[in-house]
Structure 1
Amino acid sequence: MKRKPLAFRMRPTSIDDVIGQHQLLGKGMLLRRMIEADQLSSMILYGPPGTGKTSIASAIAGSLGHHFRILNATVHNKKDMETTVAEAKMYGSLILILDEVHRLDKAKQDFLLPHLESGLLLLIGATTANPYHSINPAIRSRCHIFELEQLQPTDIETALNRALNDKEHGLGNENVTIDKEAITHLSLACGGDVRSALNALELAVLSTPKKENGLRTISLKTAEQSIQKKSIQHDKDGDAHYDVLSAFQKSIRGSDVNASLHYLARLLEAGDLISIHRRMLVIAYEDIGLANPQAGSRTLAAIESAERIGLPEARIPLANAVVELALSPKSNSANKAIDAALQSLREGGSGDIPLHLKDAHYQGAKNLGRGIDYKYPHDYPDAWVKQQYLPDAFKNHIYFEPNETGKFEKALGDLYKKRK
């Protein structure tokens, strides 16, 4: 029989063996208190791949000595859940650890809900998708939600060294020596995914032939060959993708050019040019705006160039545009102005357009008072004349407040103040 993967064998059986996640399992933290008091309720563990969601779930059950079953919402069907409920009735209660809980369809949800309500089943769901976006409210409202953080390289190194020394479940009987640089590389290249790091370590060990003395020596080169590069923590369809897009825009808005390029690189690695292009155009007008009006047209030109030449060269015009956006003066005055106009419209109605502004290009318009007393600006110096344009209900409303962050907007502001 084929041996189970190292990552599976090294799953903790007690919460004290869990790597990282001190914000949940540290002394005095809520989840640890719930476990120590044996007062569990249904929960959803949410976080990136390889952060220990299923491991924590099984460690919780192991720490308390409760019976549990691990199912997958994608693979297992309603029949499997019926078997689990029958087992729960036999024991009096049971912990159901459900991987990919966001994939739970309506039929399975409807079956599980009464058993969650009665306490026969205690659900510990695991998912990489944001539960507030992806999980049915009927399930979500019955669960505590705990977010797991990406593991740090030091956490990964702890897991790797533990696996190398564990003779019962790990590689302790394989007579392995490993270069420190190799451990460091695995801990960094896995991108916070301990499962990926452990699988790479196992591949490195088992694919390395023994020397005459029975020793296996793992070098940095072997480690590099054994792990697939993971420079990003998301794919273009994943929930975390939107976190990266958000960080991308906020870094540009905050004028941090290095962070802006970092997140651009992550988005490029995900291969989603459409989202990059859309977000950059939004940034050019939402965050740069009137402080550098040319940024919008130059960003569009960079996007069109990127579309024509494609990846990998597309990164070059996009990087040029991102550097300009990050280092440009910032203004959201136009954005705030239109939002203020929309808000007042929604709160106070539209008001009637002044008669002198109404369409007068039809017979009888003057009889209705339309267009009378309208002053044609081009008949006046500088093509401007003071007259009322806003409806009476809004005539004292001011929406636009210019900033002083760029020469163009400062000039607009001076003109605006003069004509108020």
Structure 2
Amino acid sequence: MQQPLAFRMRPRTIEEVVGQQHLVGEGKIIHRMVTAKMLSSMILYGPPGTGKTSIASAIAGSTKYAFRILNAATDSKKDLQIVAEEAKMSGTVVLLLDEIHRLDKTKQDFLLPHLESGRIVLIGATTENPYLSILPAIRSRSQIFEVQPLSEDDMKIAIQRALTDKDRGLGNFDAVLDEDAERQLVYATNGDLRSALNGLELAVKSTLPSEDGQIHITLPIIEETVQRKALTADKDGDGHYDVISALQKSIRGSDTDAALHYLARLIEAGDLPIISRRLRVIAYEDIGLANPAVAARAITAIDTAEKLGFPEARIPLANAVIELALSPKSNSAYTAVDAALADVRKGGTGDVPDHLKDAHYKGAEKLGHGVDYVYPHGYPGDWVPQQYLPDKLVGKHYFDPAGNSKVEVAYKDQYQKLSDAQRKGLKK
């Protein structure tokens, strides 16, 4: 039985890895490990289909070490013993351990001495946060790297490579992928290259060639093989971005009906990850301090939608959209942090005042670090005037609350009161 396209197209060397250049690009950490042949165990975490297995395969291929794949949940201690015996006989083995967050203590205890000796280079793969889900003994012996969703350009490179590769890919089928079909393949799979290649292979192998022998892959074919409709078949392919943008602008403009219309279009396209991400942004960018309770409820609704999945997800999403659209609006937090970032990026920082510097080490007092710090909780109201900003930024204001709701008016009053007291206190 032929292996799936995604399996066949796994990179053979580190240079063939698509995306993840912050890890595998020339001069980056994993590339340096491979170049020096100084591999250490690592944990790769991130969404499905983003290249965790590909990176492991490429590391093994570039270093010429044996490569084995096991699953922490389903493979037994005996399977690990077989890998360990192979490592004893032939030298180092690169072991990709999928779902490493499900590794039990018995298997962990077996692995640890082999990791210490270097006979097994463990590459753990997980979609879970390793700092919360992986046993400390394994975590402490591994470097942790986050694998990011592939960009559209990365996805297109991998798709075209698979389409034209005659040895491992689909190059012998003489298939042509329409531009709008390729765009939908990238968009609908949301950075999951494995899903994209699966959809592409199904499309090519299930489509009859035309009279000239060419297999023509159109948008409707890709919609069927990835089971997600395009939002629109517009020529420039910006339809999905336009709908997402319209959803945010309708909520920002407090037009509930328009917001529900654009939400419905995204729901019909089955685009839960995009809806969730955009609503999270809206809750804090456009509502923010005007109504923190609504922002928090929206996040709860979004989390519920993600756990439910479609079709039920539409209900909490509708709740979130309606509340966000009808809520008072404020972008004061968003503009405040951007103003602070603008100063930092143009070099407007200055030294941290000595009394605020870390004093939890021997010799800090001799440097004057933390010596004159005044502890606010020792004063009435848990507040006392003292300088917090660097000298060159004293008196600088970033936060400019609009006061468009009772909540933000209260924040504005408190901000003004504290700012005035700080200024008067420092003048004394």
TM-score, structure 2 length as denominator? 0.63
Q: Which moved more, 1:316-325 or 1:59-68?
A: 316-325
Q: Which residue of 2 aligns with 1:158?
A: 157
The Cα shift of 1:411 comes to: 11
Alpha-carbon displacement from aligned partner over 1:252-272 (angstroms, at most 9, x marks no partner)? xxx9999xx8999899937x9
Alpha-carbon displacement from aligned partner over 1:258-288 (angstroms, at most 9, x marks no partner)? 9xx8999899937x99xx99xx8xx8xx963
Q: Which moved more, 1:176-185 or 1:132-141?
A: 176-185
1:174-193, aligned counterparts within 5 Å? 174-193=173-192
Distance of aligned partners of 1:141 and 1:321 in 2 relative to their CA distance in 1, 3 Å threshold = same
Secondary structure of the 1:122 match is strand
Q: Separation in 1 of the partners of 2:76 and 2:198?
A: 28
Distance of aligned partners of 1:328 and 1:77 in 2 relative to their CA distance in 1, 3 Å threshold = same
Q: Which residue of 1 aligns with 2:235?
A: none
- Percent sequence identity over aligned pairs: 45
Letter of the structure 2 residue corresponding to residue 120 of structure 1:
R
Alpha-carbon displacement from aligned partner over 1:275-303 (angstroms, at most 9, x marks no partner)? x99xx8xx8xx963xx66xx8599989x9
Secondary structure of the 1:397 match is helix
| Contact 1:47-1:148 at 8 Å conserved across structures | yes
* Count of matched residue pairs: 318
- Give 2:324's match in structure 1, choosing from 322, 325, 331: 322
- Give 2:403's match in structure 1, choosing from 385, 403, 406: 406
1:225 aligns with 2:224: yes
Q: Separation in 2 of the partners of 1:30 and 1:210?
A: 45
Q: Separation in 2 of the partners of 1:84 and 1:138?
A: 20
Secondary structure of the 2:27 match is coil
Secondary structure of the 1:133 match is helix
Alpha-carbon displacement from aligned partner over 1:321-343 (angstroms, at most 9, x marks no partner)? 22355714769xxxxxxxxxxxx
Secondary structure of the 1:83 match is helix
Larger radius of gyration: 1
Q: Which residue of 2 aligns with 1:15?
A: 14
Root-mean-square deviation (CA, aligned residues, Å) is 4.5
Secondary structure of the 1:164 match is helix
Secondary structure of the 1:44 match is strand
Q: Which residue of 2 aligns with 1:312?
A: 314
Alpha-carbon displacement from aligned partner over 1:104-138 (angstroms, at most 9, x marks no partner)? 11111011011111222111111111111111110
Q: Which residue of 2 aligns with 1:114?
A: 113
Alpha-carbon displacement from aligned partner over 1:8-58 (angstroms, at most 9, x marks no partner)? 011011111111111111121111111101111111111111111111101
Where in structure 1 are there 5+ consecutive unaligned residues?
232-250, 332-392
Q: Separation in 1 of the partners of 2:24 and 2:294?
A: 51
1:17-36, aligned counterparts within 5 Å? 17-36=16-35
Letter of the structure 2 residue corresponding to residue 269 of structure 1:
L
- Give 1:396's match in structure 2, choosing from 358, 377, 380: 380
Letter of the structure 1 residue corresponding to residue 210 of structure 2:
K
Q: Separation in 1 of the partners of 2:263 and 2:135?
A: 31
| Contact 2:294-2:324 at 8 Å conserved across structures | no
| Contact 1:165-1:172 at 8 Å conserved across structures | yes
Distance of aligned partners of 1:199 and 1:397 in 2 relative to their CA distance in 1, 3 Å threshold = same
1:17-416, aligned counterparts within 5 Å? 17-229=16-228, 269=272, 288=289, 312=314, 314-325=316-327, 327-328=329-330, 396-398=380-382, 405-406=402-403, 408=406, 409=409, 413=413
Q: Separation in 1 of the partners of 2:182 and 2:38?
A: 39
Distance of aligned partners of 1:36 and 1:412 in 2 relative to their CA distance in 1, 3 Å threshold = closer
Secondary structure of the 1:173 match is helix
Alpha-carbon displacement from aligned partner over 1:62-120 (angstroms, at most 9, x marks no partner)? 11111121111122110100111111111132221111111111111011011111222
Q: Separation in 1 of the partners of 2:57 and 2:86?
A: 17
